[in-house]
């Protein structure tokens, strides 16, 4: 990533009104600034013509006005994106003359980041229960491939009764009913990024014996019956209570 360049976006012809944006890191021919997460992008806007020195400038991020401090508006105005976050990817920064919104310049951020895959996770699943493993593969640029291995060999989807879905954010591997002999082992999700190379995450899956489920439904039914009869008892007694109160008056 170039950190050296201080690049002028557009050169102003002397007779036209214009604003220019200088940026660190520099901007490419299409007005795109290539940057990474956690870094800083600084943008400086200048109004072009000498008679506009002192012309008020406005900054917008994706069309919404950026609040600028006093003394950061006239003739020259700087904004800093610090630190760069995921949501800055694709964000467009526009600088324009406050007095004439048609005089403007824009730059767009391209924030690259690798898939956030590392380390390992222990997963316990009961015999006969669904096994679901999620692998977060979203990245910019998108990963070119995702694959899964089990105990170091390519996963046999058919033999393991696995299904695999992928939506650009997550690669999900699942099996309806976990079986110790088929499904226990070390799974690895491996994503290949055209910029950041291979990234992977491990899932150490243990299939445990089924624990008998607590009979919750009969218990709830029992509790309802108990409550109802309790209520009835109060109701029938209430009549007596009212009678007693009548006598007392
Ligand atoms: C705004 O700037 C444009 C381009 O320089 C110019 O054609 C137009 O007349 C200006 N409008 C006003 C209201 O000054
Ligand atoms: C952002 O930069 C990456 C890496 O150079 C590139 O592959 C991708 O196409 C760029 N995206 C956009 C929207 O310019
Ligand atoms: C994977 O390896 C572990 C440890 O050697 C073994 O217990 C397990 O059965 C293996 N899993 C499969 C599906 O072969």
Provide the CATH number for the domain formed by 19-112 in this structure. 2.60.40.10
Rg of the chain (C-alpha set): 32
Helix (H), strand (E), coil (C) string for 77-128: EEEEECCCCHHHCCCEEEEEECCCCCCEEEEEEEEEECCCCCCEEEEEEECC
Atom 10 of ligand 1, nearest CA residue: 100
Q: Cβ contacts of residue 60 below 8 Å, gap of 6+?
A: 66, 93, 94, 95, 96
pLDDT confidence of residue 48? 73
pLDDT digit string (tens) for 140-178? 999 999 999 999 999 999 999 999 999 989 999 999 999
Q: Name the token pair of 147.
A: 């694959």
From the alpha carbon of 16, which atom of ligand 1 is closest? 5
Q: Is the pLDDT of residue 76 over 60?
A: yes
Q: What is the average pLDDT across 123-144?
A: 96
Cα–Cα distance, 193 to 184 (Å, whole number):
28
Q: Is the pLDDT of residue 71 over 60?
A: yes
Ligand 1 midpoint to CA 100 (Å): 6
Q: What is the average pLDDT across 189-217?
A: 89
Of 66, 79, 100, 24, the closest CA to residue 9 belongs to 24
Q: Does pTM surpass 0.85?
A: no
Is 12 a pocket residue for ligand 1 (Cβ < 6 Å)?
no
pLDDT digit string (tens) for 37-55? 999 999 999 987 666 567 8
**Number of neighbouring beta carbons within 10 Å of residue 116:** 13
Q: Cβ contacts of residue 107 below 8 Å, gap of 6+?
A: 9, 21, 23, 27, 31, 32, 33, 43, 92, 93
Residues with C-beta less than 6 Å from any ligand 2 atom: 32, 34, 110, 112, 141, 195
Q: What is the average pLDDT across 14-25?
A: 78
Q: Is the pLDDT of residue 10 over 60?
A: no
Cα–Cα distance, 102 to 105 (Å, whole number):
9
Q: Is the peptide bond before 25 cis (omega within 30 degrees of 0)?
A: yes
For residue 5, what pLDDT band results from cuts at 50, 70 and 90?
very low
pLDDT confidence of residue 128? 95
User: Residue 135, CB half-sphere, CA atoms under 13 Å: how many?
Assistant: 30
Ligand 1 midpoint to CA 67 (Å): 24
Give the number of whichever ligand sits closest to the CA of residue 204: 3
Q: What is the average pLDDT across 84-96?
A: 96
Start-end of CATH 2.60.40.10 domains in the chain: 19-112, 120-208
Q: What is the DSSP-derived secondary structure letter of residue 51?
A: G
CATH topology of domain 120-208: Immunoglobulin-like (2.60.40)
């Amino acid at each position: 990533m170039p950190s050296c360049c201080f690049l002028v976006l557009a050169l102003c012809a002397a007779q036209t009104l214009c604003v220019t944006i200088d940026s660190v890191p520099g901007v490419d021919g299409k007005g795109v600034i290539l940057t990474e997460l956690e870094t800083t992008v600084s943008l400086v806007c200048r109004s072009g013509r000498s008679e506009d020195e002192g012309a008020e400038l406005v900054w917008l991020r994706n069309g919404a006005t950026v609040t600028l401090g006093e003394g950061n508006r006239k003739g020259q105005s700087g904004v800093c994106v610090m630190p760069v976050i995921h949501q800055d990817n694709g964000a467009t920064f526009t600088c324009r003359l406050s007095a004439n919104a048609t005089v403007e310049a824009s730059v767009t951020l391209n924030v690259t980041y690798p898939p956030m895959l590392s380390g390992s996770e222990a997963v316990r699943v009961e015999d006969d229960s669904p096994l679901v493993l999620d692998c977060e593969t979203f990245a910019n640029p998108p990963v070119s491939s995702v694959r899964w291995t089990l105990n170091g060999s390519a996963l046999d989807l058919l033999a393991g009764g696995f299904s695999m879905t992928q939506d650009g954010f997550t690669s999900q591997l699942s099996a309806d009913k976990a079986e110790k002999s088929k499904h226990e082992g070390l799974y690895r999700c491996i994503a290949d990024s055209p910029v950041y190379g291979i990234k992977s995450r491990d899932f150490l899956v243990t299939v445990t014996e089924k624990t008998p489920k607590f009979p919750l439904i009969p218990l709830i039914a029992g509790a309802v019956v108990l409550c109802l009869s309790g209520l009835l008892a109060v109701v029938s007694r209430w009549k007596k209570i009212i009678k007693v109160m009548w006598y007392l008056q």
